[in-house]
Chain A
């Protein structure tokens, strides 16, 4: 069919006038501006405490407790980073470098063993048939409903028997047995939603169960595992109760405990120092989050297998 017959075959549509087009455009622009305004102000409201925290690290104690505006009255104070220096040095014999190192000594191994144990357990629940699987799975889900505080006392006694008090083992070891049920559940669900064809193709290609896990399943699970690593990192970094119970030597304190300790000293507390160091304490989690964000997005868009 030639193009002019196509055109003549089309029903005659009403062509909108110029004024109408302009009116529509204006209306769309106003509604867009309105949306940005609302979103922006709500966002600002939620972020304000963070801004305030940032500003407060440059204020004197007196100003911190009397003003709600986040910037210090005297803006030249913004050039004075002494609070960061003093906070970092602490009043103990250790600097925050030690405490950060301690935190990483807990967080990094814990994230690694979590990833390994979660993957193994989830792989077994999602891909293998064995007697008692359903029962075991429901027990695992059951523990998710248990308040963690219930387990503290028996766990403490157990680790005491094992002579592990005041070491990092009690903070790391449980994760090696996939007790972070939520993560295991997350990976199981992700794997259940992933078609098995690729694994079957790999079986035919000659993979055994472990090769399958390493060459095929783990790469497929990447987006889910990144989420697990991220949350485990942030939650462990921020964990306070765990170290409080098990760690008693100041030298072994992680950041969360060290921060609390800085507030506990008798005499006058320099709040700006504490606030400054809390901001520094936020940095690792923030960094990891922004690094992982890219993969979050990639995971969401690329895991869909084309039909």
Chain B
């Protein structure tokens, strides 16, 4: 049973590059924590510092109640799954899984028991006497996970373990890994997990909490829904969600009875809750953000029951993509590109529209966000219900 505590963790590489700038984070016992961020944001660096593969330049790292900064990898009670599986190519699957246990000097029958149990859990008993090169990508990945499980570590570390798999397999492995984690936790086995990915879909579906990173600093740590609904800044807002949130430059303006944002030549009224926060920002340039699903045709808005809170505007239609249950609609408003996700049932007028034609779309304004242009901070966080 172990939590992982990072306090002011800093990493400076030998070439002088500071990759991690004082990260504070608590991963709770038994929690599935996901690190997500674009490539190069130091996700792996942090994970490898926790694993003991990379020295810690500053700060304090605790696993459980022990400070592990100077402990070797094997003394930290961790196990890790690598992106390229990192199976030992000359050992059979069984020996791959047993290797760590043998080094630890466990008795043979105990090793055998643990390996067969893990193999059963991962449905790979038939693979035990194959060599890694005789495995498919998905099977190799399962062996890599099995190699961790047999060690019964306090903390599981995953570095983009699914990114080499094809899309379908990735989706099913995602579910398996999540289930496996819950299974271990329900059995009362140590199951704290830190999972690194650049894929926000993986992060959203797997993480109990998500830590969004950018350039070696933490942007936000929260549950997936909070992250989605209440992003603290424009980076998090844009990174989480697909298609990504529309974030476009706008100006705060006064209108009779409240405030609005002007995007190009179009004015959208802001809800009263926003008005209080933005009162002394009239005339300021800001970033206006709204998720594609909060834009719809008048009919879809009514169907969603949001007509009172929606502002309707004339938009220039550009392109549609049929996704089955939804139509991704791309259009222009005030000279900027926007995207909308409209349920297919209410997309009749979109289907008929031609390029450049004016269509009416509704914007659910109390779901919008206003970000500061310079700092990117979400100014309207306090006004969100």
Which residues of chain A have a CB within 8 Å of any CB of chain B?
129, 195, 197-198, 200-207, 211, 215-216, 219-220, 222, 302-303, 305-307
> Among A198, A219, A302, A303, which residue has the most Cβ atoms of chain B within 10 A?
A198
Q: Is B167 an interface residue (CB 8 A)?
A: no
Question: Does A219 contact B80, Cβ atoms closer than 8 Å?
Answer: no
Bound-state CA distance A129–B53 (Å) is 14
| A201 cross-chain contacts in B, Cβ below 8 A | 80, 82, 86-88, 147
Q: Is B103 an interface residue (CB 8 A)?
A: yes
Which residues of chain B have a CB within 8 Å of any CB of chain A?
14, 51-53, 73-74, 78-80, 82-90, 99-100, 103-104, 133, 137, 140, 147, 151, 164
Question: Does B103 contact A205, Cβ atoms closer than 8 Å?
Answer: yes
Nearest-Cβ distance from residue A201 to partner chain B, whole angstroms: 4
Bound-state CA distance A62–B341 (Å) is 97
Bound-state CA distance A197–B81 (Å) is 10
Nearest-Cβ distance from residue A203 to partner chain B, whole angstroms: 5
Bound-state CA distance A129–B13 (Å) is 13
| B100 cross-chain contacts in A, Cβ below 8 A | 204-206
Contact of B86 among A197, A211, A219, A222 (CB under 8 A): A197
A-B CB proximity, top 10 nearest: A205-B100, A197-B86, A206-B74, A219-B90, A201-B86, A206-B103, A204-B73, A197-B82, A198-B86, A203-B73
Bound-state CA distance A216–B87 (Å) is 10
Question: Does A204 contact B99, Cβ atoms closer than 8 Å?
Answer: no
| B86 cross-chain contacts in A, Cβ below 8 A | 195, 197-198, 200-201
Bound-state CA distance A306–B85 (Å) is 9
Nearest-Cβ distance from residue A200 to partner chain B, whole angstroms: 5
Bound-state CA distance A211–B99 (Å) is 11
| B80 cross-chain contacts in A, Cβ below 8 A | 200-201, 204
| A302 cross-chain contacts in B, Cβ below 8 A | 89, 133
Question: Does A198 contact B88, Cβ atoms closer than 8 Å?
Answer: yes
Bound-state CA distance A216–B91 (Å) is 10
Bound-state CA distance A237–B100 (Å) is 42
Question: Does B133 contact A306, Cβ atoms closer than 8 Å?
Answer: yes
A–B pairs, 9, beta carbons within 8 Å: A197-B84, A201-B88, A204-B51, A204-B53, A205-B74, A206-B100, A302-B89, A306-B133, A306-B137
| B99 cross-chain contacts in A, Cβ below 8 A | 202, 205, 215
Contact of B104 among A129, A206, A220 (CB under 8 A): A206
Closest B residue, CB atoms, query A206: B74
Question: Does A129 contact B14, Cβ atoms closer than 8 Å?
Answer: yes
Question: Does B14 contact A204, Cβ atoms closer than 8 Å?
Answer: no
Question: Does A307 contact B84, Cβ atoms closer than 8 Å?
Answer: yes
Question: Does A203 contact B74, Cβ atoms closer than 8 Å?
Answer: yes
Question: Does B104 contact A204, Cβ atoms closer than 8 Å?
Answer: no
Question: Does A195 contact B74, Cβ atoms closer than 8 Å?
Answer: no
Bound-state CA distance A219–B82 (Å) is 20
Question: Does B104 contact A200, Cβ atoms closer than 8 Å?
Answer: no
Closest A residue, CB atoms, query B103: A206
| B164 cross-chain contacts in A, Cβ below 8 A | 307
Closest A residue, CB atoms, query B133: A302
Question: Does A207 contact B78, Cβ atoms closer than 8 Å?
Answer: no
Question: Does A204 contact B103, Cβ atoms closer than 8 Å?
Answer: no
| A206 cross-chain contacts in B, Cβ below 8 A | 73-74, 100, 103-104
Question: Does B88 contact A216, Cβ atoms closer than 8 Å?
Answer: yes
Nearest-Cβ distance from residue A180 to partner chain B, whole angstroms: 25
Question: Does B84 contact A195, Cβ atoms closer than 8 Å?
Answer: yes
Bound-state CA distance A200–B54 (Å) is 10
| B137 cross-chain contacts in A, Cβ below 8 A | 306
Nearest-Cβ distance from residue A192 to partner chain B, whole angstroms: 17
Given contacts A204-B52, A204-B73, A220-B90, 14 further A-B contacts (CB under 8 A): A197-B82, A197-B84, A200-B53, A201-B86, A202-B88, A203-B52, A203-B53, A203-B73, A204-B100, A205-B74, A211-B103, A215-B88, A216-B88, A306-B137
| B51 cross-chain contacts in A, Cβ below 8 A | 204
Closest B residue, CB atoms, query A216: B88
Nearest-Cβ distance from residue B152 to partner chain A, whole angstroms: 13
Nearest-Cβ distance from residue B235 to partner chain A, whole angstroms: 30
Nearest-Cβ distance from residue A222 to partner chain B, whole angstroms: 8
Closest A residue, CB atoms, query B151: A205
| B53 cross-chain contacts in A, Cβ below 8 A | 200, 203-204
Bound-state CA distance A203–B87 (Å) is 13
Nearest-Cβ distance from residue A115 to partner chain B, whole angstroms: 17
Bound-state CA distance A215–B100 (Å) is 11
Question: Does A198 contact B87, Cβ atoms closer than 8 Å?
Answer: yes
Bound-state CA distance A302–B133 (Å) is 8
| B83 cross-chain contacts in A, Cβ below 8 A | 197
Closest A residue, CB atoms, query B137: A306
| B88 cross-chain contacts in A, Cβ below 8 A | 198, 201-202, 215-216, 219
| B78 cross-chain contacts in A, Cβ below 8 A | 204
Bound-state CA distance A307–B87 (Å) is 12
Bound-state CA distance A96–B97 (Å) is 52
Asked, given contacts A198-B88, A202-B88, whether A306 binds B82 with beta carbons under 8 Å apart, the answer is: no
Nearest-Cβ distance from residue A125 to partner chain B, whole angstroms: 17
Closest A residue, CB atoms, query B164: A307
| A207 cross-chain contacts in B, Cβ below 8 A | 103
Bound-state CA distance A216–B151 (Å) is 19
| A220 cross-chain contacts in B, Cβ below 8 A | 89-90
Nearest-Cβ distance from residue A221 to partner chain B, whole angstroms: 11
Bound-state CA distance A200–B84 (Å) is 12
Bound-state CA distance A53–B173 (Å) is 65
Asked, given contacts A197-B84, A204-B51, A215-B99, whether A305 binds B89 with beta carbons under 8 Å apart, the answer is: yes
| B79 cross-chain contacts in A, Cβ below 8 A | 204
Question: Does A200 contact B89, Cβ atoms closer than 8 Å?
Answer: no
Closest B residue, CB atoms, query A129: B14
Bound-state CA distance A192–B87 (Å) is 18
